[in-house]
């Protein structure tokens, strides 16, 4: 039976780590979510600029 003690301790540690992660995820800052959304919009705009084949760079970068 003592052979299983390290595995039991590891299982308890993993359960504890999962509980801590869930509590951290639920306490996410709403400002971070808004900032991430804004950054995603910027990335999408830059991707459109890079993918678009008929671009005039000076005109399109003024809007950013």
Whole-number Å distance between alpha carbons of 61 and 45: 10
Q: If you average pLDDT over residues 6-10, what whole number do you get? A: 81
> In the numeric block, which tokens belong to residue 20?
């801590």
More confident residue, 16 or 64: 16
Tokens of 28: 């996410």
Q: How many structural domains is the chain composed of? A: 1
**What range defines the domain where residue 28 resides?**
2-61
Please say whether the beta carbons of 60 and 49 come within 8 A: yes
Residues 11-21 have a mean pLDDT of 82
**Up-side HSE of residue 39: CA atoms within 13 Å toward CB?**
6
SS3 44: helix
Proportion of the chain above pLDDT 90, given as a percent: 0
Tell me the per-residue pLDDT of 27-50, one tens digit each, with 9 for 90 and over. Answer: 567 787 788 889 889 888 877 776
pTM summary value: 0.41
Tokens coding 54 = 């008929």
């Amino acid at each position: 039976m003592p052979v299983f003690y390290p595995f039991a301790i590891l299982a308890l540690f993993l359960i504890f780590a999962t509980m801590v992660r869930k509590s951290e995820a639920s306490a996410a800052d709403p400002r971070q979510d808004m900032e991430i959304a804004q950054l995603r919009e910027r990335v999408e705009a830059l991707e459109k600029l890079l993918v678009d084949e008929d671009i005039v760079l000076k005109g399109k970068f003024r809007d950013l």
